[in-house]
Amino acid sequence: MRHARRLATRAFRAKVGEFVAEGPQAVREAVAAGVVLEVFATAEATERYADIVAASPDWQVVSEDVVAEVADAVAPQGMVARCRSVVRDLQGTDLAGARLVVVCADVRDPGNAGAVIRCADAVGADAVLLAGDCVDPLGPKVVRSTAGSLFHLPVVVERDVATALDAVRAAGLRVLAADGGGDAGLFDADLDLAAPTAWLLGNEAWGLPPERRALADTVVSIPIFGQAESLNLATAAAVCLYASARAQRA
């Protein structure tokens, strides 16, 4: 139990290659992915989620207080799982044949990072790359925000943004950067969204600085028809990814 509690820190997660998944949805998907080492659950959760119990390799019934010690959520949902890391590096990821990839550069907000992973899963993207100074994708808030999608597609961490973009280009994808001051509009008739594409997304506060924009093949802006100043990062990602997914499936 002490080991599981220590997984709240990024340094310990990196050292042991493990993390915690919280709640029935995340634990169910982690079990299906074959990465669960052990589950701690209350008696009530054990009775309610018999399907997860049956599929889990090691199930331990504990008190609510014990679950709360390991969980990060304010109101834990009765179970937490200790899991093997699912994060990859570029060297261990084959992007050959990929048609839709997301590259997040310097994304710091756990909720946004998790929402982008969840959206990428929903549109059938091939991978999410977290590049630069990004939040840890195995942090509890990120894991919770993915609602289980963390276990459905490759999530890759690469410190250097240029290296990440070189890898997607080598796999045959062109890079479109989503930015308010784009050279093209998302709905422009001559913007080919059916081609294999990697969407480059920037930081929540400052977007993509000039040196990041320069790494893209085309900078694309999402039109604002009302009076909003801009879109939230996760919302912008959803709009761009669904536009590409629709064009690729047409």
Q: Which of 194, 198, 211, 12 is nearest to 120 (CA)?
A: 198
pLDDT tens digits, one per residue of 230-247? 889 999 999 999 999 999
Q: What is the pLDDT of residue 149?
A: 97
Distance between CA atoms of 205 and 108, rounded to whole angstroms?
Answer: 9
* CATH number attached to the domain at 88-249: 3.40.1280.10
> SS3 for 151?
helix
CB 61 within 8 A of CB 44: no
Residue 156 has pLDDT above 80, yes or no: yes
What's the pTM? 0.94
Residue among 22, 135, 10, 13 nearest 69 (CA): 22
pLDDT at 124 over 90: yes
Over residues 33-74, the pLDDT tens digits come to: 999 999 999 999 999 999 999 999 999 999 898 888 888 776
Strand partners, 38: 82
Q: What is the pLDDT of residue 202?
A: 92
Percent of the chain's residues with pLDDT above 90: 83
Question: In the numeric block, which tokens belong to residue 130?
Answer: 């977290």
Neighbouring residues of 220: CB distance < 8 A, sequence distance ≥ 6 = 176, 177, 178, 179, 182, 183, 184, 185, 186, 191, 240
Tokens of residue 13, six digits? 């997660």
- Residue 206 pLDDT grade (very low, low, confident, very high; cuts 50, 70, 90): confident
Task: Match domain 2-85 to its CATH number in 3.90.1170.40, 3.30.930.10, 3.40.50.150, 3.30.1330.30.
Answer: 3.30.1330.30
**What pLDDT does 205 receive?**
81
Cα separation, 46 vs 40, whole angstroms: 9
Domain coordinates of the chain in residue numbers? 2-85, 88-249
5/46 Cα distance (integer angstroms): 21
Domain 2-85 and domain 88-249, same fold? Reply is no
Helix (H) or strand (E) holding 170: helix 161-170
C-alpha 82: how far from its chain's center? 19
- C-alpha closest to that of 83 among 125, 130, 138: 138
CA distance linking residue 201 with residue 128, whole number of Å = 11
